[in-house]
Amino acid sequence: MKSVRECTYRYALDMETLLWTRGPNFPLSQLPTRLMCPDCGSRRVSLVYEVPSNPNRATLASG
């Protein structure tokens, strides 16, 4: 049996780019199925969603 080293690549996705490329109606729950790790090539990726604790008022006003 072959052992596989766990990939530790991490990257913060740009939400504005996701909005432009996937559209405003793209369900975030389907995002992991559309991603591939640029380091190891695996399609088995994990996402962690972080909600800002203190959102920028300018961002809220423009949306």
Residue 56 lies in a domain: no
Residue 1 lies in a domain: no
Residue 15 lies in a domain: yes
Give DSSP secondary structure letters for 1-48.
----PPP-------HHHHHHHH-TT--GGGGGGG---TTT--S-----
Residue 55 lies in a domain: no
pLDDT of residue 41: 92
- Say yes or no to pLDDT of 62 above 80: no
Residue entry with tokens 């994990």:
46
User: Domain containing 27: what range?
Assistant: 8-50
Residue 30 lies in a domain: yes
Residue 29 lies in a domain: yes
Q: Number of structural domains, the chain?
A: 1
Q: Between these two residues, 40 and 61, which has the higher pLDDT value?
A: 40
Condensed to tens digits (0 to 9), the pLDDT of residues 12-41 reads: 888 888 889 889 899 988 988 889 999 999
Residue 61 lies in a domain: no
Residue 26 lies in a domain: yes
